């Protein structure tokens, strides 16, 4: 009967809609949990970029934390060979990061990110086939590090593409939280793979996570490219534009010096804590774990709580909470002092990193987001090379006191460079008709230094 047919169709529609309803309910629950634990508000494009950052952080940050052990155990590489590998990677990665940002301006964020993560995944997988060929394996490791750099510039440029200037600090804080979550979750997963299947399982698992990053980027990321005519500036023209942008160059200097201070915490403080302060490695590991936990729980919330602060204040307080607290270590070396330094440093980096990213992205014209954020990534990678070499050399030659004085001084110079850059950005914004590094020749709008 017609009436029964209508009722059956309604019943079937209700049954078919049930899985979608359940999936929607599950998604709502997951988003609510993320909001409660991390303080993160879900926005479609930014949320997808955060998921991609989380997966790539779990994969590639974990790989780089284990690759030295793999080289020694699987390849039987010597420490000197391994140090040359890291040096080559550190020298080649900064220019690769900038070139990746430039290419993402011309060809889109998605292709650069997909190629970057895809190639690195294939290179990591191919390490399984190197056997005991030391230089072949170490060469692949260097290449994997170099091809990873462009993807980092592209994902930073995505935020500048899709988020208004006044809310980019929150957006970069979100990506930073997602990356930290991946870094925290990655090593236990890697340890499980090593227990189950040894190094082959580890390499295959990391490569699969990289492949998942590619699939997520293909499925969810926008292309992220400027207007066609503007986005196709040649390499020489782009270099000219960024090379004469004085506020941008000053911000890059502030970024380099700030990340040198940051890397002193990551690489120099552990060595000093164990060798000079006679702290047990396990104790340092527990203290260090405080840092990512604080970042996970407070990064987004702290950025939101300080959103009314002017960028100058946030930048200054952030760097000064990173460097000068090291001077407390001159007073003694009890565990309580190091714990205080670790906690204060965490708040400093949470204030400083999203702010410097926001300032650089606000200075960049829309069709050069990739080139400007590529400069940021290059400065970050360069600091990762210089800071440990400088700090550990000072430790060997002049002792602990010289290290902490040096990095505290770097933080002051970083603040000064950042303040001069922000002043220049404010003058440019106040006088849009004034000539600038990018104004008339490249169609650049005045920099936006506002904060929401």
pLDDT band at 41 (very low <50, low <70, confident <90, very high): low
Distance CA 397, CA 244 (A): 38
Tokens of 22: 């359940």
Helix (H/G/I), strand (E/B), else coil: 72:
helix
Do residues 175 and 38 touch, judged by C-beta distance below 8 A?
no
Mean pLDDT (whole number) for 125-152: 89
Distance of CA 75 to the CA centre of its chain: 29
> In the prediction, which pLDDT does 340 show?
93
Do the first three CATH levels of 42-225 and 244-452 match, i.e. the same topology? yes
Q: What is the DSSP code string of 351-419?
A: HHHHHHHHHHHHHS-GGGHHHHHHHHHHHHHHHHHHHHHHHHHHHHHT-HHHHHHHHHHHHHHHHHHHH
Mean pLDDT (whole number) for 77-96: 88
Mean pLDDT (whole number) for 214-239: 71
Does the structure show a pLDDT above 50 at 248?
A: yes
The whole-chain average pLDDT of the chain stands at: 82
Do residues 380 and 257 touch, judged by C-beta distance below 8 A?
no
Q: Is 52 exposed, middle or buried (0-12, 13-18, 19+ CB in 10 A)?
A: buried
User: Domain 244-452 maps to which CATH number in 1.10.3720.10, 2.60.120.260, 1.20.1250.20, 3.40.50.300?
Assistant: 1.20.1250.20
Domain boundaries, the chain: 42-225, 244-452
**pLDDT 10s digits, 56-75:** 888 887 888 788 888 888 88
pLDDT band at 236 (very low <50, low <70, confident <90, very high): confident
Q: Which residue has the tokens 């303080």?
A: 39
Does the structure show a pLDDT above 90 at 140?
A: yes
Mean pLDDT (whole number) for 319-347: 90
Distance CA 33, CA 51 (A): 15
Does the structure show a pLDDT above 60 at 441?
A: no
> In the prediction, which pLDDT does 33 show?
55
Do residues 169 and 303 touch, judged by C-beta distance below 8 A?
yes
> In the CATH scheme, what architecture does the domain 42-225 have?
Up-down Bundle (1.20)
Does the structure show a pLDDT above 70 at 34?
A: no
């Amino acid at each position: 009967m017609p009436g029964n047919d209508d009722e059956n169709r309604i019943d079937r529609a209700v049954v078919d809609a049930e899985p979608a309803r359940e999936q929607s309910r599950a998604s709502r629950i997951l988003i609510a949990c993320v909001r409660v634990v991390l303080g993160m508000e879900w926005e479609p494009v930014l949320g997808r970029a955060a998921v991609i950052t989380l997966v790539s952080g779990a994969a590639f940050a974990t790989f780089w934390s284990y690759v030295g052990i793999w080289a020694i155990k699987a390849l039987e590489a010597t420490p000197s060979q391994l140090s040359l590998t890291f040096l080559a990677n550190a020298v080649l990665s900064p220019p690769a990061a900038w070139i990746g940002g430039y290419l993402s301006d011309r060809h889109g964020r998605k292709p650069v990110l997909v190629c970057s993560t895809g190639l690195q995944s294939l290179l990591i997988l191919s390490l399984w086939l190197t056997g005991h060929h030391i230089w072949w394996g170490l060469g692949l490791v260097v290449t994997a590090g170099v091809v990873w750099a462009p993807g980092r510039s592209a994902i930073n440029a995505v935020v500048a593409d899709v988020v208004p200037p006044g809310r980019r600090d929150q957006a970069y804080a979100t990506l930073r939280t997602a990356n930290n979550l991946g870094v925290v979750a990655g090593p236990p997963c890697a340890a499980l793979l090593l227990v189950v299947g040894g190094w082959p399982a580890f390499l295959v698992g990391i490569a699969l996570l990289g492949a998942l990053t590619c699939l997520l980027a293909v499925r969810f990321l926008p292309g992220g490219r400027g207007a066609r005519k503007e986005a196709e500036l040649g390499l020489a023209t782009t270099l000219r534009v960024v090379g004469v942008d004085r506020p941008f160059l000053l911000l890059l200097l502030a970024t380099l010096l700030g990340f040198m201070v940051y890397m002193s915490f990551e690489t120099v403080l552990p060595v000093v804590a164990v060798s000079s302060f006679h702290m047990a490695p396990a104790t340092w590991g527990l203290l260090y774990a405080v840092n990512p936990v604080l970042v996970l729980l407070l990064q987004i919330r702290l950025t939101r709580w300080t959103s009314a602060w002017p960028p100058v204040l946030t930048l200054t307080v952030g760097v000064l909470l990173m460097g000068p607290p090291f001077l407390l270590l001159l007073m003694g070396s009890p565990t309580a002092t190091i714990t205080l330094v670790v906690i204060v440093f965490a708040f400093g980096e949470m204030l400083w990193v999203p702010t410097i990213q926001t300032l650089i992205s606000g200075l960049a014209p829309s069709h050069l987001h990739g080139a400007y954020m590529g400069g940021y990534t290059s400065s970050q990678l360069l600091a990762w090379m210089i800071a440990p070499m400088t700090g550990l050399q000072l430790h060997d030659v002049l002792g602990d006191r010289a290290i902490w004085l040096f990095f505290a001084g770097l933080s002051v110079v970083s603040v000064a460079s950042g303040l001069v850059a922000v002043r220049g950005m404010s003058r440019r914004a106040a006088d849009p008709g004034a000539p600038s590094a990018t104004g008339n020749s490249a169609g650049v709008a005045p920099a936006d230094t506002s904060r929401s």
